[in-house]
């Protein structure tokens, strides 16, 4: 099973605001959390935050001084339904995964691939994770399928 089967194309740019408007809501929360619950992700990651409204969700971009870029995606109701990361080091996944962190850990422990350990894929009903990484280059994507807004293609999240 592949988790990223494209569904309907996402109508990016419908608002004509792509990358332009900064939202008032300042903080992104952990996966499954509320957008206004904490500003701790930014603080824990020692990072800058920029939020942008998209057609069907809001995008919160957290950039650390270490060069790692984290995107958190919130529903119109303010719940984080997906996140992505890319950079020379992984971000603080314990912070970003919140209540889902233990699930991630348990899956990693079971997988514990012999040989090199540079891929992680997890496709459970309530959590999908795909990540790849080696020193100097890490990236990944995680989402909660039940929280993804109708019409949003996770594979095409910017």
Is 47 a residue that touches another protein (CB under 8 A)?
yes
Interface pattern 76-115 for another protein (x via CB under 8 A): ------------xxxxxxxx--------xx--xxxxxxxx
Is 69 a residue that touches another protein (CB under 8 A)?
no
Is 60 a residue that touches another protein (CB under 8 A)?
no
Out of 138, 143, 152, 154, the residue judged to bind another protein by CB under 8 A: 138
Integer angstrom CA distances of residue 90 from 38, 97, 141: 21, 13, 12
Tokens of 1: 């099973």
φ, ψ dihedrals at 101, nearest 5°: -65, -40
Instruction: Please name the residue ranges forming H helices in 72-143.
Output: 93-97, 101-111
Out of 36, 43, 126, 156, the residue judged to bind another protein by CB under 8 A: 43
Strand duo 137-143 + 80-87: pairing: antiparallel
Residue 8 or 105: the one with the smaller Cβ distance to another protein is: 105
Let me know the angle formed at the C-alpha of 83 by 103 and 65, rounded to the nearest 5 degrees.
110
Tokens of 100: 């889902």
Residue 37 or 139: the one with the smaller Cβ distance to another protein is: 139
Is 120 a residue that touches another protein (CB under 8 A)?
yes
Size of the site for another protein (CB under 8 A): 47
């Amino acid at each position: 099973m592949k988790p990223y089967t494209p569904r309907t194309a996402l109508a990016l740019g419908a608002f004509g605001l792509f990358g332009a408007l900064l939202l008032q809501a300042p903080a992104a929360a952990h996966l499954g959390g509320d957008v206004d619950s904490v500003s701790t992700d930014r603080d824990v990651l020692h990072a800058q935050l920029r939020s942008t409204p998209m057609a069907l969700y809001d995008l919160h971009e957290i950039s650390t001084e270490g060069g790692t870029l984290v995107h958190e995606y919130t529903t119109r109701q303010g719940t984080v339904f997906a996140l992505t990361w890319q950079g020379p080091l992984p971000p603080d996944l314990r912070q970003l995964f919140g209540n889902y962190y233990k699930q991630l850990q348990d899956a990693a422990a079971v997988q514990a691939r012999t040989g090199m350990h540079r891929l992680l894929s997890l496709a459970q009903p309530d959590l999908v994770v795909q990540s790849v990484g080696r020193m100097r280059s890490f990236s990944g994507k995680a989402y909660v399928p039940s929280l993804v807004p109708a019409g949003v293609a996770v594979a095409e999240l910017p």
